[in-house]
Amino acid sequence: MDFGAPPFVIMIVIVCTAGWLINNWIRARHGYPLEDEWGGKTERTDTAETQRLKAENKALHEKVDAMQDRLVVLEKIVTDRSYSLSAEIDALRDAPALTKERI
């Protein structure tokens, strides 16, 4: 294969351009700054919609964190030995009442 032939050079140019385009597409999709052809960076501008979504996302994260804290407390209450002990005592109190009704 002749590496100096025009088809080979054209193929290298096409592959490099496609790689650059794919790289910028991935960067744009995930919110990273884009590169221009001279190696400079172009920052994304936040619109009012993206700022609103970021604020809503932060509020939702705070709610989830608060709910997780409450869930931890509830799990501690339910798995506490005294809670299950009182439930067992209540079950025993109800058991003799059922046997008296059958007699």
Q: Same domain for 50 and 40?
A: no
Q: Same domain for 28 and 52?
A: no
User: Which of 21-30, 37-46, 55-64 tops mean pLDDT?
Assistant: 55-64
Residue 37 pLDDT: 65
**Percentage of the chain lying above the pLDDT 90 cut:** 27
Selection from 7, 5, 40, 10 nearest residue 24 by Cα: 40
Q: Same domain for 26 and 51?
A: no
Residue 27 pLDDT: 82
Q: Which domain holds residue 1?
A: 1-44
Please give the tally of structural domains in the chain.
Answer: 2
Q: Please tell me the distance from the alpha carbon of residue 99 to that of residue 33, in angstroms, as a whole number.
A: 76
Query: Residue 62: pLDDT above 60?
Result: yes
Residue 102 pLDDT: 53
Q: Same domain for 4 and 51?
A: no
If you average pLDDT over every residue of the chain, what do you get?
A: 80
